[in-house]
Every structure is written in structure tokens, then in C-alpha cells.
Structure 1
Amino acid sequence: MEKKAEDLEEATIYNYRATLDRVRGKLGNIKLQELTGEDVEAWMLWALRCGRVRGPEAGQGLGVTSVDMSLARLKDVLNRVKSKRLVNVNVASELGIPRKARKAERKVKAEIIPWNVSEVHTFVQGMSGDRLYAPLLLSLMGLRPAEVVGLRWSDIDLTNDTLTVANTRTMMGNKTVIEKDTKSMAGERVLPLPIPVKDALKKFKALQAAEKMTLGTGYVDSGYMCVNAVGQVHTTGNSAPVRTSSWRSPRYVVCASTTPVRRASPTWPIMACRITSWHDGRGTPTSRQPSVGT
């Protein structure tokens, strides 16, 4: 793991360790030289059947993707120790998720039917008076949550109606914020600002200017676009960082309770929205742009 870490980002290393922790819980007491393919297969079947150990769903099975990722990381580790001649064979190399388990998961997974343009309008109208109206509109443009909270006012050109997506902020382990540039050159992009989004951003910027004037030196001039009333990127009462779902999810629920918007995702923090009529999935304008602000 340490050797692989040289070429990986901090958040990726954290995720790798987290996926391996699922294996350690059951197999960590077995010496590598004594580990068998049967041990690994037994762990895999256990994980699929009842591998969740925390939260309200403890005792239920892990998803196929989660188990597959853990199995892949274990195979990586065993390949490395094999290359160092600590073991003679990678006992997990031929193991894979049973086809029956993959089929069963596909069968029970509810199909997510994304919002159509009319439903997007309903959501936009329902959130029009919300403090975070502008960030929510940016999500409808196809920006990832990490990109929305990573936006700085210096990335937004309200004169030329563009914004530059070049920075992300991601939570790691519910306590550490990792800030970095976008994942790829394709991720770094300049997008046009539709008029409703531009107007919402101008109002949000004016609100922040008024809050800064009121608080004076008590205002945190962070430069980020998505901040609370004291200028901080969203935090708890003791200034600890919070996940974007903590402020996005309640807004979807409130909107659903006050407007006839359909729940479009099993988990509200994910906005399942058909945005291809306004912008494609990464914010590229299409030929049809409904007036989302009306």
C-alpha cells in the first residue's frame, strides 16, 4: 500500500484503505501465508449476505460494487506480497463476484427515472427563495457537488457570463477536507452562465456583501461562492466541515413537501435530473435551453 501511495492522491489512498478495512475485519487474524482461496471466498459471500457493520443497515449485505472493490484491493495486496516472494500464489486471483449475485442486485435496484424539464422547473420555483438557490442551480448545470463548493468568486465572470470549473473540495473520513484541482483536463472547463443562473449568483454575491458589511471583521472573507452567513464554507456549530448532503438533502425533502416534485432518487443527496435539455451532463450548452428561471 505504501508503494502504491506514491502515485495516488490522498483521498484515493483513504478510499483504498477503507475498502481493505472491510476485508481486515474478517480475515485480518489470518497470516498471509496461511490464507486460502476458501477463506477469501467465504469472506466475499459473507460480505454480500450481511457485511454491513455500521449504521441503520448493519447486518445487511454490502452492494456488489463495494465487495468487488474490496476484492480488487485484496488482489492488489496479494500480488505485491507475491512479487516480494512472501507468498507463492495469489489465492484470490481467480475469485470474482458470482453472476447470480450481480443479477440479483440488478433485479432489485429500482430504476431511477430522472426529472424532465417540467419537473426541473418545479424544483427551481420551489427553491427560488432559498439562500442556496444559486448553488442548487449550478447543480442543475451538471456541476458535481465537490465542484460547486470548490467554486470561488474569482472563478465566476459575471461580466462575460462564464464560470471556470477548476477546483474541488471533498470530504475525507467525515472530518478532513481535501482541496485540489479537477480530476482531469476534461474536468477543467469554462461554462456559459444561463441568465437565471447569472441573476441568482449576482443576488447571492450581493447578499454576501451585505452580510460582510454587517459583521465587519467577524466575517470570514474566504473567497468561496458557497458560504454561510458568516462567510464560512459550510460547517457545523463548532466549525467542523460538513458534507454537502447535509444542506442539499433537506432542501430536496422540503421542496417535495411543498411542491408536486417527484422524488427522483433513492437518496436525496443525489439529484437525478434530466439536464440534457438545458445542458449536457458536464455543462455543455445544448440547442434547447428552457427558461429555467421562469
Structure 2
Amino acid sequence: MTRTFGTLREAKAEYASIVHRRYEAARAPLSQVTVDEWLDQWLSVKAEDLEESTAYSYTMTLARLRGRLGRIRLQDLTEDHVDAWMRWALQEGRGRGGKPGTGLGATSVEMSLARLKEALDRAVTQGLLQVNVAREVTVPRRARKAERRAREAVPPWSVTEVRAFVRAIAGDRLQAPFLLALMGLRPAEICGLRWAAVDLGEATVSITNTRTVMGNDIVVEKDAKSLAGERQLPLPAPVAAALTAFRAAQADEKTAAGQGYEDSGYVLVDARGKALNGRQLRERAYKVMDRSGLRRVRCTTPVRAA
């Protein structure tokens, strides 16, 4: 049976309703419900109260568990199962194709455990389980400290390094977006920024929108995360000049492309007007860093003196 809906939210709500009715109809053989099946049911209902990007994050976070725990009957799941998964994830969780690999970070493992605990809490409420067997499973303090030390071992750029990066991007097509990153804008904010929010006359930029890509092709655009995230910032003279030059360059590119130009209104676009995403912005920044002999860092805002 195929049905269509006006919005993704309506489709998800109907899907959740179908899953719930199917579950109620098959409620008698509770002993056959697997961890995978319960996570599917829990996620379908939970997604109704989550933003699309958050629901996607939940799905990806729980996917780390499914390979080793998913086929276990929900009522057979034990604390030992969960603890064994946690220790495996810390040691080999990044393996691909069955080959041993490096472990997941402590924070990633903690996020997966948190979602599993939340799903099992619901199973207890529904009477499927007597206790939440994951409740007392925690990432060892030693692993958390090791992750913290590893992060501290890679300090952010010094002022000298930031100045070197600014020199390296001079004349680069994406100089303006790179400078916005140095101002502290997040990749999602730069990707969601439209020219309508940039006032070159007053030298200000309004941050009200974010744009992210889930997986490889699902675009999610939404308001800033909070009222504090919605802000108007003054544009330093070099940034305003770079944005002015970037807008002029895009006008020339639009003329050259003709009808093939995608006039989206975004600031961060390629030469044919197609909006770029945060991953593409980081990859291009990394190329500049590598070419200039600079350390790769995710945050390019200077926080310590040279």
C-alpha cells in the first residue's frame, strides 16, 4: 500500500501509528521482540517530538549498537551484553567490514548508551522489561580522561597561525566564508547565510538561519538553535571587503553560466550557484591549511596569544 502526505512530519506520524498498531496486534508473543525491533518502534514515536536533524542523530547514534545487540531478544538483553558492547566500542568501534579498527571516542559511546537507556526506560514503562539493564553501564573514567587529554594535546591556533591563514586565503574564491569562520560563525550558520541577511552598507550580518546536510544528501534548514544564536554582528572592514568582492564575483559567474546558474540566494555557493555544505567548506579549508603548512584545526578562532 502506498500513501502520500503533504509533509514529512505527517508521513512520520502515520508511520508511527502503523508501527504502534502492528505492535499492539502482535503484543501476545512479547518474548519475540528483539532489541532492533524495539529501537525501531521507539524511534518512530520519538521522532514526532524531535527536529529532523535530531531524529537523524538518534538513528545514527543507535546504529552503533545494532550490529552486536540488535538481534538479541529484548527480554534476554543483560547488563553484561551492554557492558561488553561498550568495551568493544571503545577498542574497535570504528572497524569496517569486520576488520579490527580504532575505538570510538568516549563521548560517542556515552551518547549511544544514553539513547539506549532512554529506549529501555520506555520498554520498562510499557511493561516489556522489569528493569533497565543498561542503567548502571558507564564509560570508565580512564577512557573519558584519555579523550580529554587527547583534545587538550591539540591546542587551537595561535594569533600567529591565524594571521598565516588569513594571508593564505587572500585571493581565494572562498576567502569571505573563511573569514566569517574566523569571526566565530559555525559551518551550519555560514552555509545557511543568505545575501539578504548581509548589509554591506551598514557592514553587518544577521545570523538567523542554519543549513546542514544529514548523511550525504538530506538537507535540513532551520532557525538558529536558540535566541542567543540569533544575532547581528558587525563586519570588520576586511570581511566586508571580502564579501563585497565575493558578491561581485558571483554576479560575473551568474552572467557566464546563464540559465545554468542556480540563483539560490545563499552566500556560500559554487561557481554555478549551487549551495555548498559544511563538509565541503571544511575540506576546502583543510586544503589551504595543508598547502600552507598549517595544523588542521576545526575551530579557527584565535584563543591564545602568539
Q: Which has the higher helix share?
A: 2
Whether the 8 Å CA contact 1:35–1:91 is kept in 2: the answer is yes
Instruction: Choose which of 271, 281, 291 in structure 1 pairs with 2:299.
Output: 271
Deviations 1:221-273 (A, max 9, x none): 111111111111138xxxxx9643332322222232xxxxx4153xxxx1343
Aligned pair partner of 2:291 in 254, 260, 283: 254
The alpha carbon displacement at 1:108 in A equals 4.4
CA distance in structure 1 between the aligned counterparts of 2:186 and 2:204, rounded to whole angstroms: 17
Say whether residues 1:52 and 2:94 are aligned partners: yes
Q: Secondary structure at the match of 2:156?
A: coil
Which residue type is aligned with residue 255 of structure 1? S
Tell me if the contact between 2:176 and 2:243 (Cα under 8 Å) persists in the aligned partners: yes
Aligned partners of 2:219 and 2:273: how far apart in 1?
A: 17
Displacement of 1:117 in angstroms is 2.4
How many residue pairs get aligned? The number is: 262
Q: Is the 8 A contact 1:64 1:105 kept in 2?
A: yes
Aligned to 1:229: 271
Q: CA RMSD in A?
A: 2.1
Greater CA drift, 71-80 or 106-115: 106-115
After TM superposition, give the deviation of residue 164 of structure 1 in Å.
0.4
Q: Which amino acid aligns with 1:72?
A: A
SS at 2:205's partner residue?
strand
Summarize the Cα distance change of 1:58–1:233 in structure 2 as closer, same or farther, 3 Å threshold. farther
TM-score, normalization by structure 1: 0.83
Name structure 1 gaps, 5 residues minimum: 236-240, 257-261, 278-294
1:173 aligns to 2:215 (yes or no) = yes
Contact 1:112 1:264 survives alignment (8 Å): no
Residue correspondence of structure 1 range 2-17 to structure 2 within 5 A: 2-17=44-59
Using the TM superposition, give the Cα deviation of residue 67 of structure 1 relative to its aligned residue in structure 2, in angstroms.
0.7
Question: 2:145, 2:255 → 1: CA distance?
Answer: 58
SS at match of 2:49: coil
Change (3 A) 1:159 1:58: farther
In structure 2, the partner of 1:89 is: 131
Conserved? CA contact 1:174–1:242, under 8 Å? no
Tell me which amino acid in the other structure corresponds to 1:263. Answer: R
Deviates more, 1:152-161 or 1:213-222: 213-222
Q: Where does residue 27 of structure 2 map in the other structure?
A: none
Q: 2:230 aligns with which of 181, 188, 207?
A: 188
Offset from partner CA, 1:264-292 (integer Å, 9 cap, x none): 53xxxx13431589xxxxxxxxxxxxxxx
Counterpart of 1:291 in structure 2 is none
Give the match's secondary structure for 1:221: coil
Q: Which residue of 2 aligns with 1:27?
A: 69
1:91-170 map, 5 Å: 91-109=133-151, 111-170=153-212
SS at match of 1:142: coil
Letter in 2 for 1:271: C
| Larger CA deviation: 112-121 vs 150-159 | 112-121
In 2 relative to 1, CA 205–41 (structure 1 residues): closer, same or farther, beyond 3 Å? same
How do 1:199-218 residues align onto structure 2 when only pairs under 5 Å count?
199-218=241-260
Percent identity over paired residues: 52
Superposition deviation, residue 107 in structure 1: 4.1
TM superposition shift of 1:61: 1.0
